[in-house]
Amino acid sequence: MDFDLTKEQLMVRSTVRSFAEKEIKPVAQQMDASGEFPWPILRKMGQLNMMGMTVPREWGGAGVDSVSYVLAIEELAKACGSTSVIMAVHNSVCCHPINVFGTPAQKEKYLKPLAEGKKLGAFALTEPGAGSDAGAVRTTAILDGDNYILNGNKIFITSGCEADILLVTVSTEPPKGTKGLTVFIVEKGTPGFTYGSVEDKMGVRASATSELVFENCSIPRENMLGDLNSGFKVGMMTLDSSRIGIAAQAVGFAQAALEEAVKYSKEREQFGRPIGKFQAIQWMLAEMATKVAAARFLVHRAAWMADRGQKISKESAMAKLYASRIAVEVANNALQIHGGYGYTKDYAVERLFREAKITEIYEGTSEVQRMVIARESLR
């Protein structure tokens, strides 16, 4: 068993770390306050090959492995939740499925500009009545000549109103439930495609979580991703691998909270000495550090297995379930260690506490992860 990172993985981590520390962390609090979508940062990330990380070089990507990808997400999440989720969605639920299921023409037209960072991607599955239950999707696509006509609403779509290229899951045969779903590639500006509200959220506030509205929106048949009625398979396979990215994001939040707590424990003095000298604080820090390390191992194992082409449904769900849970716990403890100051916006732990919570919800709630793990365990 080799726990060493390769030269390439170390290089990816140090490049993303120094970019995140210099360009993102200093503006993270301000982005959180304003909710402004971070276009200038995303453009720079495109130039640094972060927007098509695992996409092969022939399609404009960086062609690195999944372990490098999770290292990058952890570094970004340490600096800013919004930037890390926009990047994770773009890479793992937009670029990745086009790379796996797309035709050469779709890859040329859509994957290349996405992977080169010239276009931004999004993934639209959730609807008002279809959250955990993806089979309840009501947005329809009806064939009309050579086009499909889309009607319906999507909600909670990360980068929804900003993205250029969106993968939209619709029902092509409503009576069939999950067996009647199909994914289409939809371009921003297509007539009949507009936006509804943008959510005012607790955390990841600059990630433009939007409602999408389709009213007689005509999409060419050649924009179907994968086969007709294969949308559930495309979606589940996509989520299996993308969950490692959200798990890595959770590790990033937890690591950042731990670092803030360690720093504060050395600085803050009460009863004539730094609070880090008290055993209560030391034990809290010890538990936090151990949980972060354990979560990171689960994430790296799932990514390592993905790189070997192994089935990772169970492992990615375990990584997300555990990493998201400990991210919430560690952020909570980090805030506790900061006392009253941690409850103010003067310290990053307040934002990390709010950001950590989302990892228990999106890309499948923790209850859904338990369902996946139980199903795979009972096979």
Cβ distance to ligand FAD smaller for residue 11 or 136: 136
Cβ distance to ligand FAD smaller for residue 128 or 339: 128
| Residue that is written with structure tokens 């980068």 in the block | 159
The first and second tokens of residue 71, run together, are 């290292």
- Which region, judged by CB under 6 A, interacts with ligand FAD, from 125-133, 183-191, 258-266, 320-328? 125-133
- Which region, judged by CB under 6 A, interacts with ligand FAD, from 256-264, 275-283, 327-335, 355-363? 355-363
- Which region, judged by CB under 6 A, interacts with ligand FAD, from 66-74, 118-126, 253-261, 295-303? 118-126
Binding of ligand FAD at residue 204 (CB under 6 A)?
yes
The one catalytic residue in 162, 260, 360, 363 is 363
| Residue that is written with structure tokens 């096979």 in the block | 379
Please tell me the distance from the alpha carbon of residue 60 to that of residue 70, in angstroms, as a whole number.
20
State in angstroms the smallest separation of the CB of 75 from ligand FAD.
Answer: 21
Encoded one letter per residue, x for contact with ligand FAD by CB under 6 A and - for no contact, window 157-186 reads xx----------------------------
Binding of ligand FAD at residue 336 (CB under 6 A)?
no
216 sits in the region (left: phi over 0; alpha: psi -120 to 50; else beta) called left
- Which region, judged by CB under 6 A, interacts with ligand FAD, from 136-144, 156-164, 257-265, 331-339? 156-164
- Which region, judged by CB under 6 A, interacts with ligand FAD, from 15-23, 39-47, 187-195, 360-368? 360-368
Binding of ligand FAD at residue 156 (CB under 6 A)?
yes
Q: How far is CA 250 from CA 31, 260, 339, 355, in A?
A: 19, 15, 23, 9
Element (H, E) at 140: strand 140-144
In 177-245 the beta strands, taken as DSSP E runs, fall at: 181-187, 193-198, 210-220, 224-225
- According to CB under 6 A, which residues from 215 to 234 bind ligand FAD? none
Please tell me the distance from the alpha carbon of residue 33 to that of residue 35, in angstroms, as a whole number.
6
Helices (H), ranges, 39-185: 39-47, 66-79, 81-88, 96-101, 104-106, 112-115
Please tell me the distance from the alpha carbon of residue 306 to that of residue 286, in angstroms, as a whole number.
31
Instruction: Among 132, 270, 290, 344, indicate the residue that binds ligand FAD (CB under 6 A).
Output: 132
Q: Which residue is nearest to ligand FAD (CB)?
A: 131
Binding of ligand FAD at residue 249 (CB under 6 A)?
no
Binding of ligand FAD at residue 124 (CB under 6 A)?
yes
The first and second tokens of residue 246, run together, are 């959200």
Our answer to whether residue 363 is catalytic in this structure is yes
Q: How far is CA 97 from CA 61, 167, 185, 240, in A?
A: 14, 9, 11, 11
Binding of ligand FAD at residue 123 (CB under 6 A)?
yes
Please tell me the distance from the alpha carbon of residue 262 to that of residue 330, in angstroms, as a whole number.
12
Instruction: Among 264, 304, 322, 362, indicate the residue that binds ligand FAD (CB under 6 A).
Output: 362
Binding of ligand FAD at residue 197 (CB under 6 A)?
no
Cβ distance to ligand FAD smaller for residue 242 or 265: 242
State in angstroms the smallest separation of the CB of 378 from ligand FAD.
Answer: 15
Instruction: Among 9, 126, 182, 255, indicate the residue that binds ligand FAD (CB under 6 A).
Output: 126
SS3 124: strand
Encoded one letter per residue, x for contact with ligand FAD by CB under 6 A and - for no contact, window 80-99 reads ---------x----------
Please tell me the distance from the alpha carbon of residue 264 to that of residue 242, in angstroms, as a whole number.
34
216: phi then psi, degrees, rounded to nearest 5: 50, 50
State in angstroms the smallest separation of the CB of 22 from ligand FAD.
Answer: 26
What is the per-residue burial (b if ≥16 Cβ within 10 Å, else e) of 293-320?
eebbebbbbbbbbbbeeeebbbbbbbbb
Please tell me the distance from the alpha carbon of residue 319 to that of residue 243, in angstroms, as a whole number.
8
Cβ distance to ligand FAD smaller for residue 208 or 261: 208
Q: Which residues are catalytic?
A: 363
Binding site for ligand FAD (CB under 6 A): 89, 123-126, 131-132, 156-158, 201, 204, 209, 358, 361-365, 367-368
